Structure 1
Amino acid sequence: MSAETLANDNRIPNAGDDIHQLQTINSTGNAVTLRDSVEVALKNYFAQLDGAPVTDVYQLVLSEVEAPLLEQVMKYTRNNQTKASTMLGLNRGTLRKKLKQYGLL
């Protein structure tokens, strides 16, 4: 896809679109995907457990990712819940429930 085509492309990005892959820059200046960041965080978390029992890891990770995701999408859409729910692929009612859950509404 050319740069001009990308500039005129108004579709909502799909998870599989490489051009839209979620990235951050680490302390060494290298691009790191969100997936890589989660993987590193989980490896560190498990290493610190030192064999201690743990439960609800799924919910822990989900809440750590979901809250900032919702916050940033709401900022991006200027708190337009209809646009945000479309971007997220959620029903507007589900979005409102999640916003309340994380104290964002």
Structure 2
Amino acid sequence: MHANAVRMPRMEVDTSDSGRSALNECVSRTVRRYLVDIGDTPCDDGLFALVMREVEAPLLREVMDFHDNNQSRAAVALGINRATLRKKLAAHGLL
């Protein structure tokens, strides 16, 4: 196991029959639904930017909460520098 990894109970990390993780399945399902909803309407900033914008704040919130708002531990878990984490937290109004 990687040093930054968090060991989850077995039932939470099991993959579906396709071998994909629950997170992978969730993202796929949500992006697929979004694409069906918008049809041929272009995404102004691009789909990649939209997804990153929507995912980053809840990711940061959950990791910070899991690590009791300890920025050093959260940064290690995320695999980013603590200064980068602080910048992202400030950008999302999470400081």
Q: Do they superpose with TM above 0.5?
A: yes
Structure-2 residue corresponding to 1:13: 5
Alpha carbons of 1:13 and 1:91: their partners in 2 closer, same or farther (altered >3 Å)? Answer: same
Q: Which structure has more RCO (C-alpha within 8 Å, separation ≥ 6)?
A: 2
Q: 1:36-51 to 2 correspondence within 5 Å?
A: 36-51=25-40
* SS of 2:5 mapped into structure 1: coil
> Which digits, 9 at most, give the CA deviation of each residue in 1:42-68, with x for residues without a partner?
111111112112232111111222111
Q: 1:53 aligns with which of 25, 42, 57?
A: 42
**TM-score w.r.t. structure 2 length?**
0.75
Unmatched segments (≥5 aa) in structure 2: 16-20
Structure-2 residue corresponding to 1:6: none
**TM-score w.r.t. structure 1 length?**
0.68
Unmatched segments (≥5 aa) in structure 1: 1-8, 24-31
Q: Count matched residues.
A: 85
After superposition, the CA RMSD in angstroms is 2.7
Q: Is the 8 A contact 2:4 2:79 kept in 1?
A: no
Q: 1:23-102 to 2 correspondence within 5 Å?
A: 33-55=22-44, 56-102=46-92
Task: Report the CA distance between 1:12 and its aligned residue.
Answer: 2.6
Bigger fraction of residues in strand: 1
Q: Is the 8 A contact 1:81 1:92 kept in 2?
A: yes
Q: Which amino acid aligns with 1:69?
A: L
Alpha carbons of 1:94 and 1:38: their partners in 2 closer, same or farther (altered >3 Å)? Answer: same
Alpha carbons of 1:53 and 1:12: their partners in 2 closer, same or farther (altered >3 Å)? Answer: closer
